[in-house]
A = this chain, B = another copy of it.
Amino acid sequence: MTHPFFTPELRLMLEEEDADGVRAFCETLHPALVAEALAEDFSVEEVWRVLEHTHIRDQAAIFEYFPISWQVTMVEGGGKPHMARLIEAMSHDDRVALLRRLTPRVADGLLRLVDVADRRDIAELFRYAENTVGSIMTTEYAWVPTGLTIGEAIDRLRHHAPDNETIYYVYVLQESTRRLEGVVSLRDLILSQRLVSINEVMDRDLVTLNVTDDREVAAQAIARYDFLAMPVIDDSNRLVGIVTHDDVIDIVVQEATEDLQRQGAVGPITENYLEAGFLDVWWKRTFWLSMLFIAEMLTFSATAYYEESIERIMILKYFITLCIATGGNSGTQAATLVTRAMALGQISVGHWFRVLRHELLMGIAMGLVLGIIALVRCQLVPTEMLRVEGGEDLTHIQIGWVIGQAVACICLVGTLIGAMLPMVFKKLGVDPALASSPFVATFVDVTGIVLYFSIASVYL
């Protein structure tokens, strides 16, 4: 993939006011590349000067590829009437995403200058809650009424000339009600005879999305069926929009980023790493670390509770960290697997019993191995560490037995908690990805301390 640096060349053209050069630059290269070159090294004013030289459709195409935070900055730095024209030319889903990010005052001011039809369309999309299919769909789609011939349908398409992303499926609607009757791919249109009726060619067995579905449902469905786009209907089966494949890749990437970050103990930071605001990131990171820190203080209290045992049997304290870490690791592991399987639609809350049984066996099988490793390690402990205050010294076998058993139990319990928590969270309506976060590992940590000392007190 070629990716040269255009900055110096473009800067020169700007200085020389070479309008043709700038236009050629914007219109020949892929808008994603132009957007990247512009957003990195130019000021808001310079970017506006570059865009002004091109057709409004090209401006919109480039503008859509700017990161959303940069789009917001540009709106604030640009003339409102110009921005209103740009919004009219943007794709319907992208402009709603932008307007959602503006302050209500700025958005209102802008919208007042926008064409009535577009304003109505924006208001329509605005109604849908974030993270629903409605919030990511676009209302630009290719459609024809039922009963046309293939030839008539193609002529209609020629006339409307929809965008690249939205032309590949042509939806067949009942004209009066906009009820969705079928779909024809552009491929089938081209391969069929012009005189055949579209009703004969269209596919009636449609997989559709509902406008209120979660956007992850759209992502899963498109990934599963390999569609380029999916129709979105409302409760009376009317076609209200489509979700396209490119939005789905963005969603998949974004959801994966959020899951990874949540698992890595940081609130979702979807902006570019180096460009995100320092204070914002600082707060998101500090908040999580502080919450974890405060939760982890419970280990202080738990350990202090067993003070007497710790003082008496000196070796116990050296194994605390190890036991705690085992619980945290096995819990995180199980939670990660279950959370991801739920996110990919492989299991649902209804499978909880199968998951529990599976993890019970798995926890026992893993705990055995860890327990044996611990038992072996204990044989290597220096003998002077086996002293007991006011009692007989421990033997290596004794301590090995206790630690091995504790480690195995903690591994099992950590695994079970880790596997069940994501499902409990899901049931309660909380994001299950939180369950694989260190926050829950902390919870398992404290359980680990309690188990450790309980088992120790049985034997010692």
Q: Which residues of A contact B (CB under 8 A)?
A: 1-2, 28-30, 32, 154, 157-158, 161-162, 164-165, 167-168, 185-187, 189-191, 205, 207-210, 213, 217, 221-226, 228, 245-246, 248-250, 252-253, 256-257, 259-261, 263-266, 269, 272-274, 278, 281-282, 285-286, 288-290, 292-294, 296-297, 299-300, 303-304, 310-311, 314, 317-322, 324-326, 328-330, 332-333, 335-341, 344, 346-347, 351, 354-355, 358, 361-362, 365-366, 369-370, 373-374, 377, 385, 407, 411, 436, 438, 442, 445
Contact = CB atoms under 8 A, between A and B. Distances in A.
Contact of A273 (B205, B347, B361): B347
A329 B261 contact: no
27 contacts: A2-B208, A32-B226, A158-B191, A167-B187, A186-B187, A245-B249, A264-B332, A264-B436, A265-B333, A273-B338, A273-B341, A285-B366, A286-B365, A286-B369, A289-B326, A289-B330, A289-B333, A290-B369, A293-B370, A296-B321, A296-B325, A300-B318, A300-B322, A303-B317, A304-B318, A320-B321, A321-B445
Of A217, A228, A317, A325, most buried by chain B (CB within 10 Å of CB) is A325
Closest A-B pairs by Cβ, 6 of them = A264-B336, A256-B256, A273-B341, A226-B246, A299-B321, A296-B325
B265 A329 contact: yes
A409 to B, nearest CB: 14
Identical copies of this chain, number:
2
A206 to B, nearest CB: 9
Given A289-B329, A361-B278, A260 B297 contact: no
